[in-house]
Amino acid sequence: MKKRILVIEGDNDIRDIVSYILSEEGYHVVTAKPWPVNQLHNHKADLILLDEWINEKEGHLLCTELKDLHETQHVPVIIFSTQMNIADIAKKCRAEGYVHKPFNLDDLLSEIQKCLSAHVV
């Protein structure tokens, strides 16, 4: 069964490219607006790929909200960003992984696989 990845990315071009790449890799990809956070569990994602800067809001705040909700706390989150301190940001918001932008495709796919493998539900 295909793993379902929810992509939340503020830049339309990046969102489309990432969605296409992940689809080509065999994942079922869905995209969504980040808020209201309590609706995101409806996507039944196996993993959430989350931009750190979404429509003038910080993605790590959304990640913290996701980790505080019973319905989504078990879903691994990967934060991706151009921020130099993305590792610290990911740790503070309890994300399971992070990827620097601009990202290397192999690094992105490796981080996704690592997080999916570590969080078999």
CATH number at 67 reads 3.40.50.2300
- Regarding beta strands 4-8 and 28-31, do their DSSP bridges make them parallel or antiparallel, or are they unpaired? parallel
For residue 42, the enclosing domain spans 4-118
Nearest by Cα to 19 from 9, 29, 11:
29
Q: Are 58 and 17 in contact (CB under 8 A)?
A: no
pLDDT at 50: 93
Among candidates 10, 22, 24, which has minimal Cα distance to 111?
A: 22
120: number of Cβ within 10 Å: 6
11-24: average pLDDT: 92
One-letter amino acid of 77: V
pLDDT for 16 beyond 70: yes
Structural domain total, the chain: 1
Tell me the pLDDT band of 120, cut-offs 50, 70 and 90.
Answer: low
